[in-house]
Amino acid sequence: MAQNNNTDQEDYIYSDHSDEYVPVRFRSSEISQVYSKLNVKLPSKRDNVHQKAQKSTETEILVGPTAKVSLVDQTVDLKRRQIIKEKTEQEKQLEEEMALMEAVSKKKKLTSASEIAQGVVYTEPMKTSWRPFKRFRNMPESEKISLRQKLRIIVDGEDIPPPIISFDSMRFPKPILKYLYEKNITIPSPIQMQGLPIASNQKEVKLPFEKGEGPVGILLSPSRELAQQTHDGILEISRVLKEGGYPEIRSLLCIGGISMNEQQYTLNKGVHIVVATPGRLQDMLQKGKLKLDNCIYMCLDEADRMIGFGFEEDVRNIMSFFKEFAQSALVKPIIVNVGRSGAASLDVLQNVEYVKQEMRIVHLLDTLQKTAPPVLIFAENKTDVDNIMEYLLLKGVEAVSIHGGKSQEERNYAISNFRSGNKDVLVATDVASKGLDFAGIKHVINFDMPRDIEDYVHRIGRTGRSGKTGLATTYVNTSSSDQILLDLKHLLIESKQNVPAFLYSIYDPSDKYRKEDDSLDTSIGCAFCGGLGHRILDCPKLEAQRRLERSGMRNQSEVYGNDY
């Protein structure tokens, strides 16, 4: 039986079947003999190695757009062979942050609408006439750096004059120096030491203006109160200059709530400076009541608030009325900071208390006992301001309040009475936290934690001014987000303040960025708002701004309290 099988196998092998299929029953121990009879050479071990190497080479050549393999499959294969390394979570986060910052920085420069259309580009700044005294001009660069380090001044830009440590050396007119000394302002602050010499690089102008001429400078403010305060200061300085024999400087206050007829009377005499809120200024420009043909200076007070919250187009429209646009001064911009941008004043003692939402208003009386007046109380919304005001009046506290829902007359009454000392407490929304200056504020009370840490810094900055120490008390509870509380915690640590235990109980992702001495690396905070407890990807201020831009709508009464 076996012999017959072998005979069949041999018959098949020796027959002319070289192109035919070899049955399975012939593929056993004699398979090599079968291939030999068919003149088929089996590959050797060396041949197998060579074929594998050749295949590998072909695969490497076929990586890229010419390959017959999809890009996804190529990437997977490269990662499998560890040619492409997997990115860490931290590397991915840094890439996202860099992309977001690049997108933010690519926003158009703040030029006027007409200049954008014409493609006007400025290449040189305005020519200036002011120069510091020779001893400051000849100061060695190493000495400038040493002085700035001592004063904690940080600068960025070109052709920066040195800090000047006295008003006398700033070459101001004698009447202004006398006015400052009468106000007990004898030594400039660090920001004034560096900022005033930079701002004094000014172009000569003609004084006085004739009837209907002017202005030479526009100053935009985010609120009526801040504009009023600035205007009052200009009037005082103008008065002392006139009394000292200098030409009169006329200033116009251009805000809502003031009769346009009164403003027109001042305009008819010719003005040098206009202090305004954007809404009223736009209205007067569009009606032809004001011309900016001679205007070469523009100052944006609290510019971040005006530009960052949807009012950019208002400012652009105003700039389109300039004949000689003031942005030429921004060809070589100079940035000045004292300490870290966004840091709290070291002259303010910060006290943070956990107070339940419903117990805050009752707790106010105890908090008010900590210091003598005057005291500022801040609240996020108008309803809270009204409730606090009503409660304090019932308890016999001499208090006034301001917010966007009040008339201009009511707001002026509150500000003037608080400033004069007739009232002990001012209750306000954030409209009063930025820019407004009240002398000798002893205590700032935050009835709630603001939405971003920058507003907190501005609130508490109303006290501890002019070298004096102040107190800031802040109520927090479960209504405050963990993110803002982490920002607060790191701000307290940075300012060497007492940090409540409940703030340490919050999970903190930034702990991994701590240095060997357990201090936080301040370079890893938010690059947009300066908060140390979050990164730019989680920035509440940036998110609010982007949300506002996406909506394409602005609720001015809600954002600024009808200040525009």
Could you tell me if 260 and 359 lie in one domain? no
pLDDT at 29 over 60: no
pTM to 2 decimal places: 0.69
327-351 per-position pLDDT tens digit: 455 677 888 888 776 788 888 999 9
Domain count, the chain: 4
Three-state secondary-structure class, residue 491: helix
Residues, the chain: 564
Instruction: Tell me, yes or no, whether 343 lies in a domain.
Output: no
Is the model more confident about 432 or about 398?
Answer: 398
Q: Are 300 and 420 part of one and the same domain?
A: no
Show which of 277, 304, 338 is a domain's final residue.
Answer: 338
- The two tokens of residue 150 are 């001592």
Residue 397: the pLDDT is: 95
Specify the higher pLDDT residue, 468 or 239. Answer: 239
Same domain (yes/no): 240, 380: no
Do both 163 and 272 map to the same domain?
yes
Is residue 202 located within the same domain as residue 328? Answer: yes
Each residue's pLDDT tens digit, 205-230: 444 455 556 688 899 988 888 899 99
Choice between 549 and 361, residue whose per-residue pLDDT is larger:
361
**Three-state SS letters, 337-366:** EECCCCCCCCCEEEEEEECCHHHHHHHHHH
Could you tell me if 331 and 399 lie in one domain? no
Per the prediction, the chain carries an average pLDDT of: 77
Judge whether 492 lies within some domain: yes
pLDDT tens digits along 276-285: 988 889 988 9
Q: Are residues 383 and 366 in the same domain?
A: yes
Look at residues 338, 367, 392 and tell me which one is the last residue of a structural domain.
338
- What are the backbone dihedrals phi and psi of residue 562, each rounded to the nearest 5 degrees, phi first? 60, 30
pLDDT tens digits, one per residue of 53-107: 555 544 454 555 666 667 667 666 666 666 556 667 666 667 766 776 666 555 5
Nearest CA-CA partner of 484 in 447, 452, 532, 445: 452
Asked if residue 171 lies in contact with residue 239, where contact means CB atoms within 8 angstroms, the answer is: no
Q: Are 154 and 337 a contacting pair, CB within 8 Å?
A: yes
Q: Is the pLDDT higher at 197 or at 530?
A: 197
Does 555 fall in a domain? yes
Residue 422 in this model has a pLDDT that exceeds 90: yes
Predicted local distance difference test score (pLDDT) of residue 337? 85
Assign 512 a pLDDT band (cuts: 50, 70, 90).
low
Whether 86 is in a domain gets the answer no
Point out the domain boundary residue: 314, 338, 362.
Answer: 338
In a domain, 94, yes or no: no
Instruction: Please report the pLDDT score of residue 259 as a whole number.
Output: 76
Backbone dihedral angles phi then psi of residue 59, each to the nearest 5 degrees: -65, -40
Task: Please check whether residues 243 and 317 belong to one and the same domain.
Answer: yes
Region 257-276: mean pLDDT is: 82
Residue 16 DSSP symbol? S
User: What is the domain range of residue 31?
Assistant: 2-37
What CATH number corresponds to the domain at position 525?
3.40.50.300
- Portion of the chain with pLDDT greater than 90, in percent: 27
Give me the pLDDT at residue 340, please: 73
Separation of alpha carbons 177 and 186, rounded Å: 9
Identify whether residues 392 and 356 lie together within a single domain.
yes
Are 53 and 178 in a shared domain? no
Whether 272 maps to a domain, the answer reads yes
Residue found by looking up tokens 């001009």 in the block: 137
Tell me: do 58 and 153 sit in the same domain: no
Per-residue confidence (pLDDT) for residue 33, from 0 to 100: 60
Residues 57 and 32 occupy one common structural domain: no
366 vs 92, residue with greater confidence: 366
The proportion of the chain whose per-residue pLDDT surpasses 70, expressed as a percent, equals: 64
**Has residue 487 been placed in a domain?**
yes
Q: Looking at the domain assignment, is residue 127 inside a domain?
A: no
- Is the pLDDT score of 132 beyond 90? no
